[in-house]
Structure 1
């Protein structure tokens, strides 16, 4: 089974092809450039180099957020369009989970992927490998970095932090957690699209039409519009 994975949820853009138990190829960049004009050429180049056609694909796996509102939307829209057009299953995976999967497989402790959310906030969660499988310890959430780090002082094992935004918060994390905090190498901060493909290849497909990203919070513009118009999510 050939799986195409797509991740445009943050600055890093990644696409990969996984066939059964082999990574055929992957493409990753970590550049502040427009994903909307780069992702389809990246997919086309990868498939051409791997000698695959759209008819060979059996599943699409996409990073569904959290992350950049625009970036998440681009990846999900393309994934939904491809899945619907090719009539193949679509699977969404947490963007934070992808980072955890690519970093902590041999780490004896917890993994906390970090995306900066501005104003001292981060998107994060807590994961752990058990028996070779990645488990969710604390669900993905939006939290104040100081509050999150303080909460993690209760953990009985060290915590591995990973993510391209880690440098923004690393000093504060180290100040609060001391030697319990471990930090991934810079070569591990880009989410691997091949890990995304592996996470999603055995999961059941989701309904393409009702599939939506997981932004965790509203985009700032949408939140301001709702506030200005006296509306809530439920009314």
Structure 2
């Protein structure tokens, strides 16, 4: 089965095509540029280089968040449109899970992928490879970095932290966890779309029409609107 993966949930833009045996093609950039004008040309170029046509794709896997509100929305919208047009299954995978999968396969402890969520907060969760697969030990959430590392103090063993926004929070993590905190190399901070494709390869498709992103929190504009409505009551 040929699977197309799409990840625009943060600054990194990634697309990949895999089958049961290999990564056929993979494209990743980490640029502060508009994903909305770049992702479709990236997909077209990838398919062209892999000598494939859209009709050759048999499943779409998309990073469904959390992350940048706009970035997540762009990736999910394109994935839904392609899946509906091509009449193929659509699968959504946590953007944090993709990061964890890229570094945790040969790490014996927990993996805490993270994205900055402003005001001292991060999007994060806790994962670990167990019994041949990536297991979720703590669900994806938005939390103050200081509160998160306090929670991790009760976790036995070392914790590997990964993500492009890690430098923002590294000091607080190191101060709380000391030598139990392990930090991924810069070459590991970009989520690999091939890992995304692999995570969704064998999962059943979801309903295209009801599929929605997982923002974890409301967009700032929505939050302000709801607050204004409450004040009017």
> 2:9 aligns to what SS in structure 1?
coil
1:37 matched residue in structure 2? 37
2:171 matched residue in structure 1? 171
1:116 matched residue in structure 2? 116
1:221 matched residue in structure 2? 221
Counterparts of 1:51-200 in structure 2, within 5 Å, are: 51-200=51-200
> 2:18 aligns to what SS in structure 1?
strand
> 1:229 aligns to what SS in structure 2?
helix
1:24 matched residue in structure 2? 24
> Separation in 1 of the partners of 2:220 and 2:26?
32
Q: CA deviation at 1:19?
A: 1.5
Q: Which aligned segments of 4 or more residues in structure 1 are displaced greater than 2 angstroms?
A: none
Deviates more, 1:125-134 or 1:201-210: 125-134
> Separation in 1 of the partners of 2:198 and 2:227?
40
> Separation in 1 of the partners of 2:73 and 2:206?
17
Aligned-residue Cα RMSD (Å) equals 0.7
> 2:216 aligns to what SS in structure 1?
coil
1:46 matched residue in structure 2? 46
Please, what TM-score do these two structures have when normalized by structure 1?
0.97
Spell out, residue by residue over 1:37-86, the C-alpha distance to the aligned partner (whole angstroms, 9 max, x if none): 00000000000000010111100000000000000000000000000000
> 1:169 aligns to what SS in structure 2?
helix
> Separation in 2 of the partners of 1:95 and 1:169?
19
> Separation in 2 of the partners of 1:18 and 1:156?
35
Please, what TM-score do these two structures have when normalized by structure 2?
0.98
> Separation in 1 of the partners of 2:97 and 2:83?
22
Q: CA deviation at 1:131?
A: 2.4
Instruction: Work out whether 1:209 is the aligned partner of 2:209.
Output: yes
Q: CA deviation at 1:230?
A: 1.5
Spell out, residue by residue over 1:95-146, the C-alpha distance to the aligned partner (whole angstroms, 9 max, x if none): 0000000011100100000100000000000000012210000000010100
Where does structure 2 lack aligned partners over 5 or more consecutive residues? none
> Separation in 2 of the partners of 1:161 and 1:132?
21
> Separation in 2 of the partners of 1:216 and 1:222?
13
> Separation in 1 of the partners of 2:179 and 2:19?
40
